[in-house]
Structure 1
């Protein structure tokens, strides 16, 4: 399970405020398809909201910890029946290695006065 600094967690909470739940977990709990959907959501979005239909608070806490352990994710927030989970995307190394750089060689900025002085 990943750990976050307080400042990073605060930023993620602010970002998650406007999100809608991506996955809903029913009263039957975790299944293979639910875990697959959670993994897919974290892979594509990094930060997701999950809604849980379980009424027991202790069971929800255990479920939240279990999800984060299994997916190697960081728990961001747990308010009522809503979980916010974060897992950074793996860095794609060598994605643009073969392509030449399109960086322009910049010429110094010339002002109107510099044109007048060169005459």
Structure 2
């Protein structure tokens, strides 16, 4: 279902950014880059929470923006924002949605 996957409005992105500002990173991209285990843990976290913060560590071979963009693509999530080495991903859980977008 592609209803709001890549077409979040500015208002929705602002809402998600506000939610994300208090989150701690639950997925970290390290020296191996975006690999299967990172994608898997991101998918599990997204299924449980719908919105997650991702941190790209200093030893990652990829630039933070490209690493987080790659992870968003691999998980089918929406990239809400990238600030420094942190990124915010959102993916609606169709079965049990927790976040009601404005």
TM-score by length of 2: 0.80
**Paired position in structure 2 for 1:90:** 94
RMSD over aligned CA atoms reads 1.9
**Paired position in structure 2 for 1:44:** 48
**Paired position in structure 2 for 1:28:** 32
SS of residue matched to 1:49: strand
Can you give the 5+ residue segments of structure 1 that lack an aligned partner in the other structure?
Answer: 93-119
Structure holding more strand per residue: 2
Structure 1 or 2, whichever has the larger Rg, is 1
Higher relative contact order (CA 8 A, sep 6+): 2
Please say if 1:4 is aligned against 2:11: no
Q: How far apart, CA to CA, are the structure 1 residues paired with 2:7 and 2:76?
A: 10
Q: Tell me if the contact between 2:64 and 2:86 (Cα under 8 Å) persists in the aligned partners.
A: no
Describe the superposition over 1:33-87 as per-residue Cα deviations: whole angstroms up to 9, x where unpaired. Answer: 111000000000000001111478x722222221111111111110000010000
Moved over 3 A (4+): none
**Paired position in structure 1 for 2:20:** 16
Q: How far apart, CA to CA, are the structure 1 residues paired with 2:36 and 2:78?
A: 20
Can you give the 5+ residue segments of structure 2 that lack an aligned partner in the other structure?
Answer: 97-102
How many residue pairs get matched? 91
What is the correspondence of 1:38-77 to structure 2 with a 5 Å cutoff? Answer: 38-54=42-58, 59-77=63-81
